Amino acid sequence: MKFTWFHLMPYRFLPEDFKDRYRSVWVDIPRNLYDPKVGHRLYNDYLDQLEFADAMGFDGLGVNEHHQNGYGMMPSPNLMAAALTRRTRNANLVVLGNSIALYNPPIRVAEEFAMLDVMSGGRLIAGFPVGTSMDDNFCYGEVPATLREKYYEAHDLIVKAWKEMDIFSFNGKYTKLRYVNLWPRPVQQPHPPIWIPGGGSVETYDFCADHDYQYSFLSYFGYIAGKKVADGYWEVMAKKGKELNPYAMGFAQVVIVANSDEEAERLYSPHVDYFFNRCLHVYNGFADAPGYRTVKTIKAGLLGQVGKQADLRRDGLTWKDFVDQGFIIAGSPKTVRERLREAMKTLHCGHLMMLMQIGSMPPDLVRASTELFAKEVMPYMRDLWSEFEDRWSPKRLPQNEIQMPAPLHFESRGANGQARSAGIQSEVRSAK
Amino acid sequence: MITTQKLLDGKFSVELHQFGSSGDPLLFLHGAGGLTGVDPFLEDLSKDFKVIAPHFPGYGESTGNEHIDDVLDAALFYHQLMDELGIDSANVVGHSMGGMLAAEMAALCNHRVKKLVLVAPAGFWLDAHPIPDFFAADLTEIGGLLFHDPNSPVARMFTAIPEDLKALEAMYVERVKRLATAGKFLWPLPDRGLKKRAHRIKSPTLVVWGESDKLIPPVYANEFTSRIKGARTAIIKQAGHMPMYEQQAEFVKTVLGFLKS
């Protein structure tokens, strides 16, 4: 079993009456609710938390892309992943991902992912989401009906650019390039593992199965509601005769660990409420632009996790409901061990994307829960799926070839601006 | 009304409604919402004209939507349809998105459109007069955007939500199909460069607008009349974005008056 500590990077200070005063946390959230000074603190807190998760032995650090969104302050997850390459050592960088239909030309994504892979010594997992309707259609103006076609074309271009050693031309419908010649090349050859985050579009199951990509269902509704999607995915995999390897699937789940079930509720309940009732308050009209989902998916009857239907499912839920209905797995280490094992077995899932900072949860609570999980839960779950090989995790450079940042010791500079530090001098000498 | 299916070019199968059998051909291009199946104004127009109302690919039973990416493809589609029907030139009436495509069609090949009627056409964007986001509009808001009186029986016909779940799903799927197609020309803003081409329209042109159109405000009429030589505007009172349904008699009188003059 593998664990990725996944950050959404929410704005933690939306007003109390947010849900009544504003129609959406996403797309048209008022700009004046964002205070950049607070934002500065939050970005640093959040990077600290991810770095702490690395130190605690989590397998991956997860970041994702959202636009004009009060619960996801990462228009560019690549910037966060880049920041993480410098101070983290072990964990994989799980960028889930870049909405590749939005980038023109999409080769930009191939370049940035290659940079991240090289910077991190081969620790990158490359996520290619179609992206949500809010992000792609409403914020970035993509025509809904052609989004998927554009996505598939971008995917073909990026993967070919990674694989091909010779310069080639690409004559796509949406992108035309005379010289495709990807510099730098990724450390992981021919390319980093590709994970496809999905929200329940049936086409994505086929796409993952056909390309041997990992499918990550990024739900906020937990394992009980997520079972329908997981079953749909495994059914497609079985039909296509693919190995039912749990590592071919990732699942996002809110997890909270405290010293007792009672303590978990007392300390964390307000933050869970903030997440489900303020952060996920998305105007119904933005949930699903006409043409964003195919008719096939609509007929499959899979509900989205934002919008009116989603609101109805969450309305008036208490901590007990959130726990009982599986939205969150929370409680003492013992409780979490049991529930999580049951959940992962039910879903047949090998890669858990753990949402351990959600909503307004402050740094001390995040740290406490993370540490308890790492020490009291994770070691007891490692055995799960040990009979399977994880073919979807990075193959990094050997430890002796990984370079870490040089120590910071050039604070003292002379009046003329010349470096006086011995460290810098010796580096200059050795470079000669 | 006669309904037929026409095959075009091996790419499209087109469902056509035909009203009347005598008079000059009149091609009606529907808007983003499509034909309702109960479109009595077409019957009225057929007293003097042979009215042909095709469903655009992606609407009704018409297929081949995947072969249309942009307004050039759409304009060519209508020209191909005229070829297939053996119509050399026709009067063209286009509503909303259909008005935009009718204008594109006339600009592309201007001698094939005898007279042009643009009813609350899309095609332009004015920063000072933003068009509300129809695609994101809640079902409860749509009536207010489309009609002068959202509580009138006509308006309610458009905004009624079926109680039967099967019917509701069918309605939802059809709406998604239609608006997904419309998005190719209207998403995220309904400007695909008509301003560069509108001056090529040589047909006598009437621009018809509902006085209280809250979706595309009547101020947009100037964008058409200032670019199309000789074009004039007719305003229909107590009508919103759907004047042919909301003020059927006045609409028909206005259009027939222009076409027969």
Query: Taking CB atoms and an 8 Å cutoff, what residues of chain A touch B65?
Result: 145
Per-position DSSP letters for A391-404, written without gaps between them: TTS--PPPGGGPPP
- In a mutational test of the A interface, the residue from B173, B187, B192 whose CB has the highest number of chain A CBs within 10 Å is B187
Phi/psi region, residue A64 (left: phi>0; alpha: psi -120 to 50; beta: rest), is: beta
Query: Taking CB atoms and an 8 Å cutoff, what residues of chain B touch A145?
Result: 65, 180-181, 183-184
CATH of domain B2-260: 3.40.50.1820
Give the pLDDT confidence score for residue A65 in this predicted structure: 97
Q: Can you name the CATH fold of A2-401?
A: TIM Barrel (3.20.20)
The CB density around residue A232, as the number of other CB atoms within 10 Å, is 17
Mean per-residue pLDDT, B93-122: 98
Whether residues A289 and B135 touch (CB distance < 8 A) is answered with: yes
Whether residues A290 and B172 touch (CB distance < 8 A) is answered with: no
Give the pLDDT confidence score for residue A428 in this predicted structure: 45
Give the pLDDT confidence score for residue A378 in this predicted structure: 98
User: For chain B, which residues make up each domain, given as ranges?
Assistant: 2-260
Interface of B with A in 76-95 (CB under 8 A): none
Question: Where in the sequence of chain A do the CATH 3.20.20.30 domains occur?
Answer: 2-401
Whether residues B176 and A284 touch (CB distance < 8 A) is answered with: no
Which residues contact residue A163 at a Cβ distance below 8 angstroms, ignoring those fewer than 6 apart? A190, A191
Give the pLDDT confidence score for residue B1 in this predicted structure: 81
- pTM equals 0.92
Residue A329 token pair: 């797995």
3-state class of A180 per DSSP?
strand
Q: What is the pLDDT of residues A193-207, one digit of tens each?
A: 999 998 878 889 999
Q: What is the pLDDT of residues B147-176, one digit of tens each?
A: 999 999 999 999 888 888 888 888 888 999
Give the pLDDT confidence score for residue A425 in this predicted structure: 46
* 3-class SS letters over chain B: CEEEEEEECCCEEEEEEEECCCCCEEEEECCCCCCCCCCHHHHHHCCCCEEEEECCCCCCCCECHHHCCCHHHHHHHHHHHHHHHCCCCEEEEEECHHHHHHHHHHHHCHHHEEEEEEECCCCCCCCCCCCCCHHHCCHHHHHHHHCCCCCCHHHHHHHCCCCCHHHHHHHHHHHHHHHHHHHHHHCCCCCCCHHHCHHHCCCCEEEEEECCCCCCCHHHHHHHHCCCCCCEEEEECCCCCCHHHHCHHHHHHHHHHHHHC
Chain A residues with a Cβ under 8 Å from any Cβ in chain B: 137-138, 141, 143-146, 283-286, 289-291, 293, 295, 298-299
Whether residues A144 and B181 touch (CB distance < 8 A) is answered with: no
ipTM: 0.92
Which residues contact residue A190 at a Cβ distance below 8 angstroms, ignoring those fewer than 6 apart? A162, A163
| Confidence grade of residue B37 (pLDDT, cut at 50, 70, 90) | confident
Which of B102, B113, B148, B151 has the alpha carbon at shortest distance from B244? B148
Give the pLDDT confidence score for residue A312 in this predicted structure: 63
- In a mutational test of the B interface, the residue from A136, A146, A152, A174 whose CB has the highest number of chain B CBs within 10 Å is A146
The CB density around residue B83, as the number of other CB atoms within 10 Å, is 13
Taking the Cβ of residue B130 and every Cβ of chain A, the question of whether any pair is shorter than 8 Å is answered with: no
**Chain length of chain B:** 261
Between chain A and chain B, how many beta carbons pairs sit less than 8 Å apart? 55
| Confidence grade of residue B42 (pLDDT, cut at 50, 70, 90) | very high
Which residues in chain A land under pLDDT 50?
A: 302-303, 421-432
Q: What is the mean pLDDT of chain B?
A: 95
